[in-house]
Amino acid sequence: MIQDQATSNKNYERFLARVSESLSIWGLQHPDGGWAICRSNQYESTSVYVFWSDEAYANRVAVGEWSDYQPTKIHLDSFIGNWLKGLHSDGHLVGLNWDANLCGQEKEPIDVAKALTSS
């Protein structure tokens, strides 16, 4: 099932609000150190790194091919200064608060950094 635009927008706004309060982000990390990524639905040769505002949101997608991955906390300063900067430089996108079907918005890392630093 495809997620509608209103739900995608709401999930993105929820991500920004909750991360601004908790000062942390959650990703899925494999025991070998790799992180959960998938192919973009918008751009053929672009990867999307996925992150969530809450551990429970990350945990609900740690199934199937990601069943060996564990929710891992990232501090907001590191996320903005290291992750988003590096992902932007490498030409990747970020998916934030995607649902259990891996549906949601794909954002430019620099736009997410601006949104997080202005809130």
Domains of the chain with CATH codes: 5-118 (3.40.1350.90)
What confidence tens digit (pLDDT) does each residue in 25-66 have?
999 999 999 999 999 988 889 999 999 999 999 999 999 999
Average pLDDT (91-106) is 92
Flag whether pLDDT at 3 surpasses 80.
Answer: no
- Cα–Cα dist 66/118, whole Å: 33
E strand residue ranges, 14-110: 24-29, 37-39, 47-52, 70-75, 93-96, 106-107
pLDDT at 119: 62
CA 30 centroid distance within chain:
15
What mean pLDDT is reported for the chain? 93
Q: Are strands 24-29 and 70-75 parallel, antiparallel or unpaired?
A: antiparallel
pLDDT at 116: 96
User: Which pTM does this prediction carry?
Assistant: 0.92
